[in-house]
Chain A
Amino acid sequence: MGDLTLPVILLFAALGITAIAATLATWQLLRGPCAATRSVSLDMLLVITLPLIVGVGVVAGRAIYLDVAMMYALLAFLGVISLARYFDRGL
C-alpha cells in the first residue's frame, strides 16, 4: 500500500464510508430510546467493525488480523445471542 494509485484511493474511500456508518450506529446506540434499539444498534456496529478490522489488516499487510476478525465474528454472534436470551427469559 505504498503509492497512491486509484485502487488504494477507492479502498480508503470505502473504509472511510464504513467508518461513517460505524459512527452513525454508535450515535444510535447512545441515543436509542429503549434497550432493544440499543441492542440492534450494537449488533449492526459489531458487523460493521468486522470489515474495518480486515481493512486494517490489508493496509498494514499483516495476516494476523484475519484470525482476529474470525474470532471477533464468533464473539459478536455469541454476544447478540446472549442478549436475545436475556430479553426472552432473563439471565
Chain B
Amino acid sequence: MNVLHLIGALVTLTGSLFFLLGTIGLVRMPDFYNRVQAGTKATTLGAVLSVVGLGFFDLTWMPKLLLIALFVLLTNPLSSHALARAVHRAGLPLADGSVKDDLKACDTGDAKEVS
C-alpha cells in the first residue's frame, strides 16, 4: 500500500464530498441567485481538490493536473459571476424572502444608497 496513493485518494474523496454538498445546495435552494451562490463556490474547491488528489497517483502527471486546477480556479468564479450578472441585468426577479438588491440600485444610478 502506497502512502502517496492513500493521501491522493483521501484528497479526492474530500473534493467529491464538496461536489455532493454543492449539488444538494443546487437542488434545495429557492431561486437562481442562491443556486449560483451555493453551487459554484463548492464546485470550484471540489474540482481543485479532486484534480490535485488524482495527481498523487502518478506524480509525472502532476504539472499538467496543477495547470488544470489553476485554470478551473481562475475561470469557474469568473463564468458564474458573468452568468449571474447577465441574468440579473436581464431582469430575473429574486426569491420572495429576499430583502436586499444592491446591484439593482447600482444599475439604476441610485448608487448613493448603496455605499
Q: Complex formed: what's the CA distance from A58 to B50 in Å? A: 12
Question: What B residues does A14 contact at CB under 8 A?
Answer: 9, 12-13, 15-16, 50, 53
* Contact mask for chain A residues 6-40; partner B; CB cutoff 8 A; 1 contact, 0 none: 11101101110110111011011000001011011
The reply to whether A84 and B83 contact each other, CB–CB distance below 8 Å, is yes
Interface size class of A (residues with CB under 8 A): 35 or more
Give B contacts to A, CB under 8 Å.
1-2, 5-6, 8-10, 12-13, 15-17, 19-20, 22-24, 26-27, 32, 35-36, 39-40, 43-44, 46-47, 50-51, 53-54, 57-58, 61, 64-65, 67-68, 71-72, 75-76, 78-80, 82-83, 85-87, 89-90, 92
- Count of CB-CB pairs between chains A and B under 8 Å: 177
Q: Complex formed: what's the CA distance from A8 to B2 in Å? A: 10
